[in-house]
A and B are shown apart, each in its own frame.
Chain A
Amino acid sequence: MTIIVKRLVLAILTITVAALVTFIVIQNVPGDPLYEWAMDMVQTSGLDFETAYKMAAQMYGYDPNQPLLDRLVTYVKRLLKGDLGYSMIYRASVNQIIAKALPWTAFVVSVSLLLSFSMGVILGTLVAWKRRSILDPLVTGYASFTAATPDYVTAMLLLLFFAINLKWFPSKGAYDIGIEPGFSLAFIGNVLHHAALPILSYTLEAVGGWALAMKGAAISVLGEDYIMAAKARGLKDQRIVTSYLARNSILPLITGLAISFGAMFGGSILIETIFNYPGMGWFFSQALMRKDYGMMQGLFLLTITATILANFLADILYAKLDPRVRLER
């Protein structure tokens, strides 16, 4: 039990620290962001400056005239209520934005992870099992090439050639404007069509990495006595590869899986921006480019919490899968 508790405490601690640091950073923005917001509102809604400033303060979540400590308290209270702030650009609460954006990001990230992990693991196992085949240099070469290329470069190249040049795929949005959302085949097909290139960007990159990792793990498992013993017992190749080789090799990769999940949220910032795909990353980059600090803060906190939770779950998952790691002691 103690291991889980320790990890949980660390997770919560990290989230707390991150929240605090975000708070401090945003408070220290040079210049006065409220001023800009207020001016903007004066120009667009014709309010007088006083009122506009007060409204900006409310939306931003704090009153700059209050001492730091009071601001901190208000902030913490808000967070505990689940309120992640307000976006100036979109005039909506961050929670609302998240509700719209998160499903898209989660969709793309999950599919990408699933595809790349399963393909990578299968490839890696095959390469390790069949020594000295053509597959080995092919897979390794591919993996090296894609590992070296940053994911946004791949994304841009894909966009350039497949969306703009060849026009095989759309270059923006999660689905075409004219189509009714719902569980119709047309809608789902359209969604997949739009999501194809973003998913491809992640997957092309990640498959190589998983394959290499699995290959490494599998090769060291193959050196173990029980593989030879399994052959001596006359077990069929298929059984050895699945229950003896793969199951033992995959264990170290599982932790990597959850970590990837968190890391992909970071990667989604650029990929979604490049493809104009309305997920968390896209909104985050909008916030960054247009200096919407409220949204920046809120989205960031959510991403961090998700990442840290994912890591934590990974640890638990690993413990469950490997009978040698004892939880209750």
Chain B
Amino acid sequence: MNEPILSVRDLVVEFEVREGNLRSVDHVSLDIPKGAFMGLIGESGCGKTTIVQAVLNLMPENGYIRGGEILFDGVDILALPPEKLRRLRWERIALVFQAAQNSLNPVLKVSEQMIDTVLAHRKMSKEKILERASELLELVRLDPQRVLDSYPHELSGGMKQRVIIAMSLLLEPEMLILDEPTTALDMISQAYLMDRLQEIHRQLGITMLMVTHDVSNVAKVAERVAVMYAAKILEVGGVEGIFYDPYHPYTKGLINAIPSIVGDLSSKRPIPGFPPSLISPPDGCRFHPRCQFADALCSQVVPEMEEVTTGHFVACHHWKRAREG
């Protein structure tokens, strides 16, 4: 496994809401190896989007990073002064938001927004910028003639998504983070998009982090997968390890719950119970109220990450018991 290009260390993020403090990310540590295609999966509301926002220090109004570091190439992003942070954004790490369709300014043409993006970081002539933009648009299988001259509302959802992805590659970043790139797209567009992302990964060798709750898409494209639950990471490993041989009871339950076109549906089982409140989470292991292997230890002590096989980590007290049971 390669050296990590991005290292999240003990990150804590909270949101101030009316009912109190919502801790969306609770002492999370995650390493993303250089050149890998990593997937971060988990249910809605588990905190994965927050991690992504925190990486570029783009918290919304009521969000606060309370602790931890995010090391990129040895430098803590969270400690960067504003101008350096601005330069880092998009030049070295590009972030494609959830519902990227709304990421485009409605009153500017696509070409103008491409130009904006580049001129904020480099000096380049408009013609050159548009040339490069055209190349990238072709990479995502869009017609530059048509797209560049259009306004966002003239393009379909799927097209806008691909425009943003093309835009994200303009400055040749070292890392690309995508947050739920396939939500709000129909199945066919989703498949198409996944293929394009794989192509980009293979051709350009960019490190990719895809955050999603759509487990099946991750299985298709990712090389490494991390599983997140209730503001904590439960398991990290290679994609085959996670899908064919999961260690954590939650991961097992997750994989078991995925329906497939082939196979017996009757053996599919959802995980009983509901995700916990992040304002007052359960003590000890977050998953213990829903876990069939839980005992007194689980309800008191938070499990640490252990390496169970090479490159595969789990945070569970009784993973051995779970493998037998």
Q: Which residues of A contact B (CB under 8 A)?
A: 131, 224-226, 228-236, 239, 243-244, 247-248, 251, 321-324
Contact = CB atoms under 8 A, between A and B. Distances in A.
Contacts of A229: 97, 100, 102-104, 164
A229 B52 CA distance: 13
Interface string B92-116: 0011010110111111100000001
B233 interface: no
Contacts of A322: 107
B88 A234 contact: yes
Contacts of A233: 89-90, 116-117, 120, 167
B95 A232 contact: yes
13 contacts: A228-B60, A228-B103, A230-B105, A232-B89, A232-B90, A233-B89, A233-B116, A233-B167, A234-B121, A247-B107, A248-B105, A248-B107, A322-B107
A235 to B, nearest CB: 5
A322 B107 CA distance: 7
Query: DSSP class of A's interface residues: helix, strand, loop or mixed?
Result: helix
B120 A228 contact: no
Contact of A232 (B56, B107, B116): B56
A228 B97 contact: yes
Given A229-B104, A233-B117, 8 more contacts: A226-B102, A226-B103, A228-B58, A229-B100, A232-B97, A243-B116, A248-B105, A251-B107
B323 interface: no
Contacts of B167: 233
Nearest to B87: A234
Contacts of B121: 234
B86 A236 contact: yes
A242 B267 CA distance: 57
Contacts of B100: 229
B153 A324 contact: yes
A232 B108 CA distance: 17
Interface string B159-181: 00000100100000000000000
B91 interface: yes
Given A228-B58, A228-B60, A239-B116, A234 B86 contact: yes
B151 interface: yes
A243 B115 CA distance: 13
Contacts of B117: 233-235
B106 A226 contact: yes
Contacts of B105: 226, 230, 243-244, 247-248
Interface string B103-147: 111111000000011001100000000000000000000000000
B89 to A, nearest CB: 4
A323 B151 contact: yes
A323 to B, nearest CB: 5
B194 to A, nearest CB: 22
A223 to B, nearest CB: 9
B120 A225 contact: no
Contacts of B97: 225, 228-229, 232
A236 B103 contact: no
B104 A239 contact: no
Contact of B103 (A225, A247, A248): A225
Given A229-B97, A231-B58, A323 B86 contact: no
Contacts of A243: 105, 108, 116
B143 to A, nearest CB: 20
A304 B153 CA distance: 37
A321 B153 CA distance: 14
Contacts of A244: 105
A323 B110 CA distance: 13
> Which of B87, B88, B104 has the most chain A CB within a 10 Å cutoff?
B104
A243 B106 CA distance: 11
A21 B97 CA distance: 58
Nearest to A222: B61
B179 to A, nearest CB: 10
B56 A239 contact: no
B58 A248 contact: no
Contact of A234 (B60, B90, B106): B90
Nearest to B168: A233
A55 B107 CA distance: 61
A235 B106 contact: no
Contacts of A131: 61
Contact of B99 (A225, A235, A251, A324): A225
Contact of A323 (B60, B89, B116, B153): B153
A231 B107 CA distance: 17
Contacts of A234: 86-91, 117, 120-121
A225 B102 contact: yes
A321 B106 CA distance: 11
A51 to B, nearest CB: 66
Given A225-B97, A323-B151, A232 B58 contact: yes
A308 to B, nearest CB: 28
A251 B56 CA distance: 31
Given A244-B105, A323-B107, A236 B120 contact: yes
> Which of A229, A234, A321, A323 has the most chain B CB within a 10 Å cutoff?
A234
A248 B106 CA distance: 8
Task: Rank and list the top 6 A-B pairs by shortest CB-CB distance, nearest first.
Answer: A229-B103, A234-B89, A225-B102, A234-B90, A323-B151, A235-B120
Contacts of A231: 58, 89
> Which of B56, B86, B94, B107 has the most chain A CB within a 10 Å cutoff?
B107
Contacts of B87: 234
